[in-house]
Structure 1
Amino acid sequence: MRIIPPSSVHIDTVLSHAADPALAPLGQGFDPLISRSWQRCIQDYGLDPAKPAPPRFVPRQVLLDHQDQADELINVARAGVEQLYRHIAELGYVVLLTDNRGITVQFLGDPDDKASHRKTGLYLGADWSEDHAGTCAVGTCIKEQQALTCHHHDHFSAHHVSLTCTAVPIFNPQGQLLAVLDISALQSPPSKDSQTFALQLVKQYARMIEDAYFLRRYRDSHILCLDSSREFVLINRHYLLAMAEDGSLLAANTAGRQLLAECALELPLRPSALAPRIGVQQLFDCELEDVFNIPYASADHVRAFRTHRQNALYFAALMEPRRAPVQALASSRELPRCALDELADDDPLMRKMLARAKRLCSEPLNVLLNGETGTGKERLARALHESGNRSQAAFVAINCAAMPESLIESELFGYQPGSFTGARGKGMRGLIQQADGGTLFLDEIGDMPLHLQTRLLRVLAEQEVMPLGADKPIKVDIRVIAASHRDIRQMIEAGQFREDLYYRLNGATLKLPALRERADKGYLIERLFTELSEQRQRPPRLRGDAMSALLGYAWPGNIRELRNALQYALATCEGDEITVDDLPEQCLPSPGPRLPVPTEQVRTLSADPAAQLEATLRRHRWNVSAAARELSLSRPTIYRWMKVYNIVPPKAWE
């Protein structure tokens, strides 16, 4: 008996069903979305299931154009795409975000399966439009503008029958298709029911991305948040309506538009002065004043309204528009500017720390700053000085770790003429005297030698300094802000730091979080980028793919490393915008999630990874970048492996 290949059965099923949709395959019920798509593929596109076209990838420049047009969406969707991938990666799925034409503009998948993903089209730059790829989750979702799962033999092309793909549309605030979120797997159980949970999960994340995009676009408007539950309205925000000052509705998310449709209301696709305006009073039995008073109506800032048409009850919260900074008082005088306010945006840890710093900025207390290297301790110290009552006097900074031990004493305390060989003929006022009336910032105080710690302790205790070679002390009025990335308490226990000096310095402690822990990385990136580019005649624009890479990087060097990366990008970019390709190599995103240790990448190397790695490095004359490219690993991973296996380059190549 001749066995018919599964592909032949699939081809016959597609052709017969497309010719007569009443014929359901194998006598089973059939998804009408798939049925309509099969008919389009044959009747409208002229596709042949027996001649499957290979995956099509757009050229690099075309991909960059598509990413540029989807720039704002990619920036907003990044966190949702990465979070979704973390949920499904272990199950063998990949995540694709395509634009409304089916071009994959963002992709996350296991780097080890790169070849298989590219072979099936599950990769960045792939074209999943239905008129080319045939019936597929993305292309059919774009045509039908509905969520669906295209499972195994639902696909038109026999090239794709091994895949299971689930796609959900993302709409812009006017209800037009913006993008498609898709998860796909190379292998899955035969039953389509196995993908039911996948469909619900992708719907949830598509809604989150859509709503985040909505909130971004209308952050300068009032946004009415609605839910059928009072307890969840502040969390769930199921319905979102953007509202003008006069109460007219500007836009709505998908759920909001459905609510308006149920109430026989419809927003114009393109709002204009001539289009009829829908007011919130047409939706709810209320006055406009009732809506704007929501934040003051109750203790939980929630108010209940009923719809006119269905008399359905909804609970409402109001998000007020982002306000421009107040520029003047009622007296027309400018408000005093606080330097501390510029150090953070909406990060909770920073805001809590800065609130304490504002209370301390004019107090006669010495302050100790803690935080990893590069977190901005000197900038915080300077902001404390500029925000306090010593701002008109000097701010003097010294890095105790960068200055040779032999010079710290003379630099700090100064000296009289002829105090030692090589001294200036007129002597020198030390940094402590220069800071008289102002602030002395001692960075990396943990690196100050013990014998100088004793002298500094006396200065703080007596408020006087004794220059080298002087006969009598000189009175000074200083405030000391000290900083260290080291654990001073451990140093005290090890006998490396004086405990009494620690308590003199530690009138108050402020701790700076690492950049990777901060929720306002976007604000910091934009602020630093503006600072660094303002000297240029035509500063470039920071494109969304570059911003996504910067937001996704772990920043072990903190703000200092971020500043260096932006300076590098500004120096190397050739056009009027900075793309992801202009960033330093260590900041470039990998196809999959960043891994903190190299153990997951051992499969890339042979059974003897140390020998293979060393051989590869020698072959490339210890060029780490070239070795990383050959092994499909990042440079940091190569360096980690070199450290693990104690592979040290010859002196000639260091």
Structure 2
Amino acid sequence: MNTTGLDLSAEYNARIALARGHFFQGESLPRGVLSDAIERSWRRCLSLGLTPATPADLSLLTARELRESRERSRVLLEVAQPELENLYQQIANTGSVVILTDAEATVLASISRDDPLTRRGGRPGMCWQEQRMGTNAIGTVIVEQQAVTVLGREHYLDQNGPFSCSASPVFDPFGKLIGVLDISGGNSVHQNHIQDLASMSAQVIENRLILTQLGMHTVVRFHSRPEFLGTLWEAIAAFSHNGTLVAANRAALTLLEIGRDHFHRHDFSSLFDYSFDRFQDHFSVAGRSPQLLYFRSGMRVYASASPVSTAAGRPACGSSGHGSSVVSGDGSIRRFDLCLADVALGDAPLHELLEKARLAYSADIPVLLQGETGSGKEALAKALHFASPRKSGPFVPINCASIPETLIESELFGYADGAFTGAKRGGAVGKVQLSDKGTLFLDEIGDMPLSLQARLLRVLQEREVAPVGSTKLIPVDIGVICATHMNLKELIAQNRFREDLYYRLNGLKVLLPPLRQRKNLREIITHIVDSKSHGRGKLSVSEEAMDAFLKHPWPGNMRQLCNVVSTAMVLLGSGTQIELQHLTDDFLNEMIGRRIAGGAEMAETIHTGTLTSLEAQAVQRALERHGGNISVTAAALGISRATLYRKIKNYLPGTRND
């Protein structure tokens, strides 16, 4: 199946109509119109007795049934929620909905605007099984166990024809399907890269599941190119204490050439030409460089081991540091430590402020980072760590907002054997103890439950911690960096944050400016493009694309910029220059939508009655009619997205180069 435009063209719709006519009359389907997965789904629906006129089953679970479903998928929900929000930021202005379901196709959570078209399909408790809804991305993914896109009338039921949806399966660390991640919206806004975004987000969730659920195992990250360690494309595999393979992500399964059902047949030594004990010994010392390994087939990979904890309560394997690794000119691997210059990038006032923070933290004075969401607080925290005397120790982050209140105490302080029902045998080491001789980074500290703030204060004052369920005090030597987007003074006034803890943490406050206020935005963009282009040659940004970057308000700050650049590089393929056509609709829509919402009029300098003036008025009316949506407006005007953007730049105040 091939669809070339962002809108479903009349030609494509005609082909689908022809295919439906053939299929429902019992005739052979035309070749190349439907994907194999869609054709198989249609045949399943036919065998179930469904017809195109069958009404979709829009019934919902009861409140009790939904609670039970969510409880069964509690770990998935907790791990996936940050990625759902991140994904929605990337597609927010398309009018689409992000949906997470369980393995039974029941909607567990969704994020969307208050739009009837998208809200209808994403209501928690709705079930998207094929037998209830016909061919649809969620239900078909569950049967096919592979990513699926269903466009318009590829849906079996006529009632679902106005939708287009892309979904990807989510597997647990042991290869079992546990959910589906879906992006759905109207046919007029579906973009060709939506499937890629859904698949990448599903991989992020799967990787996090491995790292959060298998902390007591040796978790090995590997890739044929060391610069890809620590990225979405790295392979991740977990091995038991005796070296048996117990879990692997998609990249690992591909590199190892094994199926999801064959984990138990392999161990470390059967996969790598190296002893498991020697590998563990190599990473028993914190901060070790990646190890060069060979598959039995002779293929070379670079591997590192994440920190894991033993029942004895100490790191058993893995580098506790979080620096990246790069290849030097002679081919050897060295530790790459983030530096403050990478954060400031020539911004003199910011560099001066960061230098003060470096001096303070190097003297063991706590640093409090304050800034908008996505402004780079964790990157700065890492840079401060690696610029301090603690750089040889671990950098241990914990996000106080992303961990449920019932779990954050055990995550932070650890727990003893038998501390509570469901506790791991032998207990677990908490983040405070793991950061001994290093840095504990408390992100979103303003979200820490008030009940835990007193205990954290005692740990910081006494420099010793007792795991949950234990009276044994363990001494710790930690440096502390905190971050928040909230005003902690206001939280203190509302009795939501302890004043004594605030003054313990606020040795020096650093206010990070939002991206839109950075004076060196061009240098920041160039730096991010360069940092993400390792292994694929030098990449550049066209002047038109750079102009769009420089004029964007960047509400998501550095995180949004990194996401936009990463997506552009995926859409770029083998090209070497990022152009306007590689920028997603939601990025351009966000910028143009803000101009229109602000009441901007086309440039008044254009003489009334001229051809240029008439064209400017036509562009503005089309933009207003379609809510600033670039793709829909371009299609209505019969021009490309890039051409439309160039016209907008010329006519709309604030988007021109004055």
Q: Report the TM-score when normalising by structure 2.
A: 0.47
Looking at CA atoms only, which structure, 1 or 2, has the larger radius of gyration? 1
